[in-house]
């Protein structure tokens, strides 16, 4: 008898939140992420996406377009994009202009991932929009998505003003347009992406539940578009891979504690070093939350982790998995480096 064949390893991509450790400045964290991006580029990863979060002591990814420009300039091949721009924080024309310029500078290497959540607290959201009233940006999300697509196109839009039509374009002469991906952790964006014929990604790395249902809804209700005649999606996964499962579990602990703080409303801090994290005593009532996270994440040695990722891709019917490398750092690690995150990418690509 022969053993059943293992699922094929999917194409791999990277999601980066630009984490900031207790021993790092913001500049150190950015330089560490640029090194991580160059590693991913050299290993053949397909995409490198950068998140948007605000006013968080452990996350420096506050401005995806700026970070995308830095990463695209530091790499040569990999697609670079937002995972994602939180559209309620921004005027659609601003986003269209930013990504039209990025696409012009790095043609066919830019992805515009858009999310509906603000990605921050209410006070910071107020500051980002300068207290603007009027339209509810969340309620207007579908229209804003449509507006961005039109504004980035070659012909742009025409707006009526003072009895005349005025042309409005994101850039003078677009030769190509960055694809729009809709991101979400509920079925709302799945429905919207399907109705618009756009690619869609469910935040499996964050939500952990509802992935199969959201993807099924997206696929079964998909309306083909000229650019995307078939539904297009992939899976996002938190991963920490090391030479042994024991070392991987140690390296994952700082991120586990960060997520536990977010889930329980505890004060947020810069990401702890591994040795600092090991001194934290998790309340007995929260240990189940920690165990649940570790079951959903990919944490282990190279062989078991690659097998798990292949199984997840087969389970959800995707040919691409976006890795969020959550490995922390030990005391004495150079401030502008994240060697364990880079090692996670190397071991998965081996």
Give per-residue pLDDT as tens, 28-66.
999 999 999 999 999 999 999 999 999 999 999 999 999
Stretch among 176-180, 184-188, 324-328 having the lowest mean pLDDT = 184-188
* Token pair of 75 as six digits: 């790499």
According to the model, what pLDDT value does residue 5 have?
67
pLDDT for res 1: 52
Q: How confident is the model at residue 157 (pLDDT cuts 50, 70, 90)?
A: confident
Query: To which H or E segment does residue 293 belong?
Result: helix 287-296
pLDDT at 132 over 60: no
Cα separation, 281 vs 197, whole angstroms: 48
Would the pLDDT of 121 be above 80?
no
Q: Mean pLDDT in the chain?
A: 93
pLDDT tens for each residue of 197-215: 999 999 888 766 789 999 9
- Mean pLDDT for the stretch of residues 233-261: 97
Say whether the peptide bond before residue 84 is cis (omega within 30 degrees of 0): yes
Residue 150 CB-density burial (10 A; 0-12 exposed, 13-18 middle, 19+ buried): middle
| Band (119; pLDDT cuts 50, 70, 90) | low
pLDDT (mean) for 167-181 = 94
Q: 168: alpha, beta or left, given left = phi > 0 and alpha = psi -120 to 50?
A: beta
Asked whether the beta carbons of 323 and 303 are under 8 A apart, the reply is no
Between residues 214 and 6, which one has the greater pLDDT? Answer: 214
What pLDDT digit, counting tens, does each position of 89-116 carry?
A: 999 999 999 999 999 999 999 999 999 9
pLDDT of residue 312: 95
The span from the CA of 117 to the CA of 214, in Å, is 17
Structure tokens at 232: 């297009």
Confidence of residue 156 (pLDDT cuts 50, 70, 90): confident
Residues whose CB is less than 8 angstroms from the CB of residue 101 and which lie 6 or more positions away in sequence, other chains included = 171
Report strand pairing: 157-161 vs 164-168. antiparallel
Dihedral Cα 232, 238, 242, 244, nearest 10 deg: -110
């Amino acid at each position: 008898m022969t053993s059943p064949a293992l699922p094929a390893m999917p194409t791999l991509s990277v999601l980066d939140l630009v984490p900031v450790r207790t021993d790092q400045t913001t500049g150190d964290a950015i330089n560490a992420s640029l090194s991580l991006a160059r590693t991913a580029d050299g290993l053949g990863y397909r995409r490198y996406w950068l998140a948007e979060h605000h006013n968080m002591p452990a996350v420096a990814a506050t401005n995806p377009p700026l970070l995308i420009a830095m990463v695209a300039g530091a790499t040569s091949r990999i697609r670079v994009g937002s995972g994602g721009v939180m559209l309620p924080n921004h005027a659609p024309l601003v986003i269209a202009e930013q990504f039209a310029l990025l696409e012009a500078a790095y043609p066919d290497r830019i992805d515009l991932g858009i999310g509906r959540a603000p990605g921050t607290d209410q006070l910071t959201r107020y500051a980002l929009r300068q207290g603007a009233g009027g339209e509810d940006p969340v309620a207007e999300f579908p229209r804003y998505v449509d507006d961005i697509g039109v504004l980035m196109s070659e012909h742009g839009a025409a707006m009526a003003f003072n009895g005349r039509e005025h042309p409005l374009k994101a850039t003078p002469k677009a030769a190509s347009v960055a694809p729009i991906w809709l991101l979400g952790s509920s079925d709302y964006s799945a429905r919207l992406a399907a109705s618009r014929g756009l690619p869609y990604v469910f935040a499996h790395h964050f939500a952990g539940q509802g992935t199969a249902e959201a993807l099924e809804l997206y696929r079964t209700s998909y309306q083909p578009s000229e650019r995307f005649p078939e539904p297009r999606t992939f899976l996002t996964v938190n991963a920490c891979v090391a030479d042994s499962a024991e070392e991987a579990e140690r390296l994952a602990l700082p991120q586990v504690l960060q997520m536990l703080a977010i889930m329980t409303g505890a004060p947020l801090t810069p990401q702890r070093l591994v040795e600092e994290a090991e001194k934290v005593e998790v309340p007995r009532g929260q240990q189940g939350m920690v165990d649940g996270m570790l079951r959903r994440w990919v944490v282990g040695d190279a062989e078991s982790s690659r097998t798990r990722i292949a199984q997840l891709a087969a389970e959800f019917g995707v040919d691409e998995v976006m890795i969020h490398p959550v490995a922390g750092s030990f005391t004495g690690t150079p401030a502008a480096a994240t060697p364990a995150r880079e090692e996670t990418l190397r071991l998965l690509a081996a």
